[in-house]
């Protein structure tokens, strides 16, 4: 086989040319993949189902993490029973040593964090009773695929609160949108 005899200058010129070609072709390929994903309406990662940005990268949550969201999850795990919003607010007031004047701020923080945990992260859900406004918060793991909550929770709610929850519509429960939310 004949080998090419190249000078050092020719060799560096060829390496530079082919490096530039590789870079250009990779950029074009990324553009084509991104455009095809947009045309197909796919804004989630096919492997994990995580939300993607316009550039096709995994989206990251912005801003500081809520201390109240962590508080809600810890209290549900600690008590191992469903809790009402009012129960969580009262626990937060006691544990964080807040005064009565801070009640509205704590209530707003708990409600906002619970909304994010329920609607965005999919870590909690609420169970209600037909014809009653009162709702209990439960961890997502406590709800079965058919929408029923754990048997011991049903008994506890009936015995302590005379509460008989209806089944949860599991088709409407959100999946985690960010990679950080996947447990």
pLDDT along the chain (183 residues), means of 10: 76 93 92 75 66 69 78 92 92 89 91 89 86 86 86 88 82 68 60
pLDDT of residue 145: 82
* pTM check: above 0.75: no
Q: What angle do CA 172, 178, 183 make, to 5 degrees?
A: 80
d(CA 125, CA 166): 13
Task: Tell me the H-state helices in the chain.
Answer: 8-39, 67-79, 85-95, 103-115, 151-161
- DSSP class of residue 127? E
pLDDT of residue 88: 92
- DSSP class of residue 51? B
d(CA 50, CA 40): 16
pLDDT of residue 5: 82
d(CA 151, CA 143): 10
pLDDT of residue 31: 83
Q: Is residue 28 situated within a structural domain? A: no
pLDDT of residue 24: 95
Token pair 């014809």 in the structure block, residue: 131
Q: Is residue 81 situated within a structural domain? A: yes
pLDDT of residue 166: 83
pLDDT of residue 163: 85
- The residue range of the domain holding 89 is 67-181
pLDDT of residue 48: 66
Q: Is residue 156 situated within a structural domain? A: yes
pLDDT of residue 89: 92
Q: Is residue 9 situated within a structural domain? A: no
d(CA 70, CA 72): 6
The total domain count for the chain is 1
Q: Is residue 32 situated within a structural domain? A: no
Q: Is residue 35 situated within a structural domain? A: no
Q: Is residue 23 situated within a structural domain? A: no
Token pair 């950080």 in the structure block, residue: 180
Q: Is residue 136 situated within a structural domain? A: yes
State the CATH number of the domain containing residue 127: 1.10.10.10
């Amino acid at each position: 086989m004949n080998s090419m005899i190249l000078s050092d200058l020719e060799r560096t010129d060829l390496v530079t040319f082919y490096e530039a070609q590789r870079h250009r072709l990779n950029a074009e390929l990324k553009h084509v993949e991104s455009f095809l994903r947009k045309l197909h309406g796919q804004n989630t990662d096919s492997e994990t189902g995580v939300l993607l940005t316009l550039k096709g990268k995994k989206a990251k949550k912005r801003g500081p993490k809520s201390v109240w969201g962590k508080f809600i999850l810890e209290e549900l795990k600690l008590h191992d029973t469903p809790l009402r919003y009012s129960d969580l607010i009262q626990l937060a007031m006691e544990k964080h040593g807040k005064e009565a004047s801070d009640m509205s701020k704590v209530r707003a923080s708990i409600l906002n964090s619970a909304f994010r945990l329920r609607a965005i992260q999919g870590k909690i859900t609420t169970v209600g009773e037909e014809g009653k406004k009162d709702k209990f918060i439960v961890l997502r793991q406590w709800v079965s695929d058919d929408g029923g909550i754990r048997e011991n929770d049903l008994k506890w709610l009936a015995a302590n609160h005379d509460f008989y929850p209806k089944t949860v519509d599991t088709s409407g429960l959100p999946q985690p949108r960010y990679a950080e939310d996947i447990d």
